[in-house]
Amino acid sequence: MPVTTIAQVGVRGFGRIHLERIDRLAGQGRMNLLATADPGGPLPDRDVAWYPSLTELLTAHSPDIVSIATPIGTHAGLATEALRAGSDVFLEKPPFASLEEFWQVLEVTRETGRKIQIGFQSLGSAGAARLRTLIADGTLGTVTGINARGAWQRDRAYYARAPWAGHRTLGGARVADGVVTNPLAHSIATALWVAGATAIEDLAGITTEMYHAHAIEADDTSFVRIDLVAGPPVCAALTLAAAGQGSAMVTVEGTLGVATYEYTEDVLHLRGGDVTTHETFPRTDLLENFVDHLQGRADALVPLAETVGFMAVLEATQDRPAPVQIAPEHLTWHGEGEAGHPVVADVEYWMDEALRHQCGFAAAGAPWGDPTATALWRPTGRA
C-alpha cells in the first residue's frame, strides 16, 4: 500500500486533532508527515520540519496532501496555494468565509485537477447515511420537516481564545464566526446532506434570525430556515447560551415516523407508532477516507462541491444586518470572569417551538425575539 505524504498547516487548536489523525495513519504505515507550518512556531514535542508559512514549506517539500486547520478567513488563500503547487487539500470546516471564495477555489480544483475534502466529521458517520436511507425507502412516509437542533454552552474564555473568535469581520476582512457557521456548523451541513440539498439549484431561499447573548459581534443564538426548490424546509435552532451542554441532532419528521440522529454520539433513534428503536453507528475518519479516495479505493464522503448548500447558509448569515443583542432582562449569567456564561431565558423551549412551527423565535412568541433580527437571502450568481 503506498505511503501518502502530508503537511499540516496550523498545529494548535484544532490543528492538534488533525495531527492525531495523521499520527494514527502514520502508525499504520499509510502516511508520512513531511512538515508543519504555523506562524506561532513549531510544537516542542514534534521532531518534524517546521516553517512559518505554507509558502516556505512548499518551497522545500511537495506533499501529496496539505491539511489545513487555520482561522476561517485564511482558508481560501492557503487552499489555492496548495492546489496550485500540486497538492490535494484536506480542509477543516467551515470551508471558506464567503460563497464567492467557495466558487473561486472550486474553479481552481477544476483548473488543477486536484481535490478537496471538507472536515465535516458528522458526515463520516454511517448514522447520517442511515437517516438518508430512511427517507429514500419510505420508512418515515412523506417527510414533513428536517430540523437541526443544538443547545450548547460557551463561556467568555471561548471567545477570548483567539483574536477572530466571535467576530463577523476583523481588520476589514470577513471572519464569519458564529454558532451557525462554526461550532454547530455540522448540524446545518448534516441536515442539508440528509435532505439531498447538495447543489445551489436546490435552494430557493434562506431566512436567518440571529442574536447574541455574549458581548460579541457574531451570533450565538440563531434560527435558520432553508426553503428548498423541492421538498419541505430544513430548519435549525442553535444556541451557545443554553443552561448546559446538550446534544446536537438532526431530526427527520414524516407521516409514518420520526428519526433523530445525535451526530456527536453517532446514535439514531427511530420512532414509529408506539415503538422506538436505537442504533449506534461507526464513524469513518475523513482524512483516511480522503486517502482511500485519492488512491481509488473509495468515494470521497465530503467533497468540496457538495458543501455549497452550507456555504449558501454561511453567506446568508453574513450578507445581512448584524445579530441583535438579547436584552439583559432575558439573560442570567453564571460564573465569574472568563468562566462566566449567559443563559437565555427558556431558550430550549423556544428552540423547540420555533422548530415545531418552522417559523423562528420571534414568530413563535419568544419574549426576547425581535422581528428586526430576521432577514431573507436568495441564491444568485454562479451555479
pTM over cut 0.85: yes
Label residue 275 by pLDDT band (50, 70, 90): confident
Q: Residue ranges of the alpha helices (H) in the chain?
A: 15-27, 54-60, 75-84, 99-112, 126-136, 156-160, 185-195, 286-294, 308-318, 347-357, 361-364
Give the chain's domains with CATH numbers: 4-121 (3.40.50.720), 126-281+305-377 (3.30.360.10)
Q: Is the pLDDT of residue 218 over 70?
A: yes
Nearest to 368 by CA among 303, 304, 324, 337: 324
Cα separation, 92 vs 287, in Å, equals 10
Nearest to 330 by CA among 362, 308, 352, 296: 362
The confidence score (pLDDT) of residue 381 equals: 58
Contact between 252 and 146 (Cβ < 8 Å): yes
Nearest to 381 by CA among 107, 118, 78: 107
Task: Quick: pLDDT tens for 37-74.
Answer: 999 999 998 999 999 999 999 999 999 999 999 999 99
Stretch 284-308: mean pLDDT, rounded?
Answer: 97
Task: Quick: pLDDT tens for 107-132.
Answer: 999 999 999 999 999 999 999 999 99
Label residue 380 by pLDDT band (50, 70, 90): confident
Residues 6+ apart with CB under 8 A from 247: 150, 151, 262, 264, 265
Stretch 238-255: mean pLDDT, rounded?
Answer: 96
The confidence score (pLDDT) of residue 100 equals: 97
The confidence score (pLDDT) of residue 274 equals: 81
The confidence score (pLDDT) of residue 372 equals: 97
Stretch 79-99: mean pLDDT, rounded?
Answer: 97
Mean pLDDT estimate for the chain: 96
The confidence score (pLDDT) of residue 119 equals: 96
Angle in degrees, 0-180, between the axes of helices 308-318 and 185-195, rounded to the nearest 10: 130
Q: Is the pLDDT of residue 383 over 70?
A: no
Cα separation, 106 vs 109, in Å, equals 5
C-alpha cell, 378: 436568495
Stretch 251-258: mean pLDDT, rounded?
Answer: 97
Q: Is the pLDDT of residue 382 over 70?
A: no
Q: Is the pLDDT of residue 318 over 70?
A: yes
Stretch 124-143: mean pLDDT, rounded?
Answer: 95
Cα 15 to chain center, whole Å?
Answer: 16
Task: Calculate Rg over the CA atoms of the chain.
Answer: 21
Task: Quick: pLDDT tens for 156-201.
Answer: 999 999 899 999 999 999 999 999 999 999 999 999 999 999 899 9
